[in-house]
Amino acid sequence: MLPTRAPGEPTLADVLPSCAASLVGQPNPLGLPSVRKALVVLVDGLGVSSLRERRGHARALTAHLTKRSALTSGFPTTTAVALASLTTGSLPGAHGIVGYSALVPGVGVVNQLSGWSDRMRPATWQRSATVFETLAAQGVRSATIGPARYADSGLTHAILRGADYVSGASIADRFAAARALFDRDQVDLAYLYVPELDQLAHAKGWESDRWLAGLETLDAEFGAFERTLRRDEGVLVTADHGVVDVPASSHILFGENPALMAGVKLVGGEPRGVQLYLAPDARPADREEVAAAWHAAEGDRAWIATREQAVESGWYGEVAHEVLPRIGDVIVAARKLVAYYDGRGGDATGRGMIGQHGSLTAEESRVPLLRAGAFETA
Distance of CA 119 to the CA centre of its chain: 23
Q: In what order do the strands lie in the sheet with 370-373?
A: 164-167, 142-146, 189-194, 37-43, 233-239, 370-373
pLDDT for the residue numbered 185: 97
pLDDT of residue 369: 98
Span 257-266, average pLDDT: 97
Whether the pLDDT of residue 7 is over 80: the answer is: no
What is the Cα–Cα distance from 209 to 222, expressed in whole angstroms?
20
> Cα dist. 354→47, 210, 243, 254, 335 in Å?
16, 13, 9, 19, 16
CATH code of the domain occupying 12-244+360-373: 3.40.720.10
Beta bridge partners of 117: 120
Distance between CA 222 and CA 230 in Å, rounded? 15
Q: Which residues contact 197 (CB under 8 A, 6 or more apart)?
A: 43, 44, 45, 46, 206, 211, 214, 215, 218
The rounded percent of the chain whose pLDDT value lies above 90 is 96
pLDDT digits (tens, 9 = 90+) for 193-239: 999 999 999 999 999 999 999 999 999 999 999 999 999 999 999 99
Q: Is the predicted pLDDT of residue 5 greater than 90, yes or no?
A: no
pLDDT digits (tens, 9 = 90+) for 133-155: 999 999 999 999 999 999 999 99
Q: Which of 190, 113, 125 is nearest to 153 (CA)?
A: 113
> Which distant-in-sequence residues (6+ apart) come within 8 Å of 339 by Cβ?
246, 250, 251, 252, 271, 272, 353, 356
Instruction: State the average pLDDT over residues 84-100.
Output: 98
- The rounded Cα 367 to chain-centroid distance in angstroms is 10
* Side-chain-side CA neighbours of residue 200 (13 Å): 21
Q: Write down the pLDDT at residue 372.
A: 98
Question: Which residues face 40 on adjacent strands?
Answer: 191, 236
| CATH number for the segment(s) 248-356 | 3.30.1360.180
Q: What is the 3-state secondary structure (H, E, C) of 97-110?
A: CCCCEEEECCCEEE
Is the pLDDT reported for residue 8 higher than 90? no
pLDDT in tens, 108-138: 999 999 999 999 999 999 999 999 999 999 9
Tell me the average pLDDT across 358-363. 98
Each domain of the chain, given as residue ranges in start order, spans: 12-244+360-373, 248-356
pLDDT at 1: 83
Asked whether the predicted pLDDT for residue 377 surpasses 80, the reply is no
Residue 166 has pLDDT above 90, yes or no: yes
Predicted TM-score (pTM) above 0.75: yes
Give the residue-averaged pLDDT of 182-191.
98
Mean of all residue pLDDT scores within the chain = 97
User: Nearest Cα to 215, choosing from 245, 171, 247, 168?
Assistant: 171
Reply yes or no on whether the pLDDT at 378 is more than 70. no
Taking only the tens place, the pLDDT of each residue in 312-355 is 999 999 999 999 999 999 999 999 999 999 999 888 889 999 99
Residue 374 confidence (pLDDT) above 70: yes
**What pLDDT, on the 0 to 100 scale, is given for residue 165?**
98
Buried (b) or exposed (e) across 198-231, using 16+ Cβ within 10 A? bebbbebbbbbeebbebbebbbebbbebbeebee
